[in-house]
């Protein structure tokens, strides 16, 4: 079973075990997906509001599509990271060359998580300015989650 298909309770139970996966990268991806999900929620509540111009509605529709794609990609990385780190663990019994290749791949996955979080953060300023004003705190929480996902992924990418 893929980690992304676990319930939150199941995922946290597995994350808490003395097992190599899921780990920090998977958690960073899930954190980023959660932040992006919040941005998508704010976008949906902001569409169709009285006073929105056609340009604002068009931009909100575009942001919704981008946020959904980023959220889905980050959710895929919950498992991609776990798979990459499983390969790192397995490679410890193999040649140095194979260990290095597994390490490079795991760092690449972590960098991808960071890039996705960065792209999602760039959606927030428009939502803070033109989105539903009652949801500004949700935009702020989303940004904090995305920054946490980014920073966590970068720690792993640089290790």
Helix axes 24-46, 136-157, angle to 10 degrees: 160
Own/partner contacts of 57-61, CB < 8 Å, gap of 24 or more, are 59/126, 59/130, 60/130, 60/131
Q: What is the pTM of this model?
A: 0.93
Decide which of 3.40.50.300, 3.30.300.30, 3.40.50.450, 1.20.120.680 is the CATH code for 21-157.
1.20.120.680
* Domain map (residue ranges) of the chain: 21-157
Question: What pLDDT score does 4 carry?
Answer: 87
Question: What pLDDT score does 159 carry?
Answer: 86
Question: What pLDDT score does 1 carry?
Answer: 61
pLDDT < 50: residue spans in the chain? none
User: pLDDT tens, 146-157?
Assistant: 999 999 999 999
- Other Cβ atoms closer than 10 A to 26: 27
Question: What pLDDT score does 61 carry?
Answer: 97
């Amino acid at each position: 079973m893929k980690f992304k298909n676990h319930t939150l309770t199941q995922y946290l139970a597995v994350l808490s075990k003395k097992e190599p996966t899921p780990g920090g990268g998977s958690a960073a991806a899930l954190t980023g997906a959660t932040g992006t999900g919040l941005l998508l929620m704010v976008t949906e509540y902001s569409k169709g509001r009285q006073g929105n111009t056609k340009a604002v509605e068009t931009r909100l529709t575009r942001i919704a599509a981008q946020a959904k794609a980023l959220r889905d990609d980050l959710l895929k990385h919950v498992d991609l990271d776990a798979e990459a780190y499983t390969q790192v663990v397995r490679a410890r019994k193999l040649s140095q060359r194979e260990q290095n290749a597994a390490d490079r791949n795991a760092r690449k996955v972590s960098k991808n998580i960071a890039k996705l979080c960065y792209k999602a953060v760039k959606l927030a300023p428009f939502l803070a300015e033109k989105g539903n004003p009652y949801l500004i705190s949700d935009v702020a929480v989303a940004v904090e989650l995305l920054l946490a996902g980014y920073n966590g992924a970068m720690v792993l990418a640089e290790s």
